[in-house]
């Protein structure tokens, strides 16, 4: 018995892809990473003793607080001067970031 005759292959239909709109940029949230949680900042003190006094006052009311020390360089008159200092500091092996003066 002879095999059944083969049918000729049908040409594939040309695929038409619908136009795709560009993806919208991701929405930025203001929520911190879940592992870090939230903090309430009570102030930024130039005098460390003032921060310690407020920390003691909070402790008297059962509120646990902690302090952070920040070190800034500047202010600079323009971004170019700030970036020059930033690059010099990074060249010293110190991790630093550029931030607007407050």
Residues 62 and 77 in one domain: no
3-state DSSP percent of the chain in helix, strand and coil, to 5: 25, 0, 75
59 and 83: one domain? no
31-58 exposure pattern, b = at least 16 Cβ within 10 A, e = fewer: eeeeeeeeeeeeeeeeeeeebeeeeeee
State mean pLDDT over 13-24.
Answer: 50
Q: What is the pLDDT of residues 41-63, one digit of tens each?
A: 788 788 999 999 999 999 999 99
pTM assigned to the model: 0.46
DSSP single-letter state for residue 2 = P
Q: Is residue 83 part of a domain?
A: yes
List the domain range (segments joined by +) for residue 99. Answer: 72-102
Residue 25 has pLDDT above 50, yes or no: yes
The per-residue pLDDT for 37 is 83
Identify the band that residue 101 occupies on the pLDDT scale cut at 50, 70 and 90. confident
Q: What is the mean pLDDT of residues 22-28?
A: 52
pLDDT of residue 53: 95
Structurally, the chain folds into a number of domains equal to 2
In a domain, 29, yes or no: no
Within a domain: residue 94?
Answer: yes
Reported as a single tens digit per residue, the pLDDT across 77-94 is: 899 999 999 999 999 999
User: Chain-wide mean pLDDT for the chain?
Assistant: 77
Report if residue 92 sits inside a domain: yes
Q: Is residue 41 part of a domain?
A: yes
């Amino acid at each position: 018995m002879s095999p059944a005759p083969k049918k000729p292959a049908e040409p594939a239909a040309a695929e038409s892809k619908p136009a795709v709109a560009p993806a919208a940029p991701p929405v930025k949230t203001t929520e911190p990473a879940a592992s870090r949680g939230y903090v309430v900042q009570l102030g930024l003190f130039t005098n460390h003793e003032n921060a310690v006094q407020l920390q003691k006052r909070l402790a008297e009311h059962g509120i646990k607080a902690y302090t952070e020390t920040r070190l800034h360089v500047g202010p600079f008159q323009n971004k170019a001067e700030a970036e020059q200092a930033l690059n010099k500091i990074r060249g010293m092996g110190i991790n630093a970031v550029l931030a607007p003066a407050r």
